[in-house]
Amino acid sequence: MARLSPLDALRLQRGSEHLHRLGPRAFDGFLRDLAARIGGMPASLALLAEYEQRLSPEMLTATGGNRFPPPPLRSVPREARA
């Protein structure tokens, strides 16, 4: 997997969630557009075939891989009181 900045990772996550809500037809359109812009369908189809062979919905559900992890909690210090 590609290493992303935290902001790019969040943008990708939100975009993925949005695309998922749009359904399979929109996802198909996205994959077609992506393949056309970055180098063609053969590489996209090969990667899709790898995912089909390695992953199943049941396996991802059982391992929690069907959801994004919760965002990390960060401590926000209080301003010093006078």
| Complete DSSP assignment for 5-44 | -HHHHHHHHHHHHHHHHH-HHHHHHHHHHHHHHHT-HHHH
Average pLDDT over residues 39-53: 88
Question: pLDDT confidence of 80, banded at 50, 70, 90?
Answer: low
- What mean pLDDT comes out for the span 54-63? 93
pTM assigned to the model: 0.69
Measured CA angle at 10 (ends 46, 72), to 5 deg: 120
Residue 44 above 70 pLDDT? yes
CB 12 within 8 A of CB 4: yes
CA dihedral 16, 22, 26, 31 (to 10 degrees): 10
Query: Tell me, what's the pLDDT at 2?
Result: 76
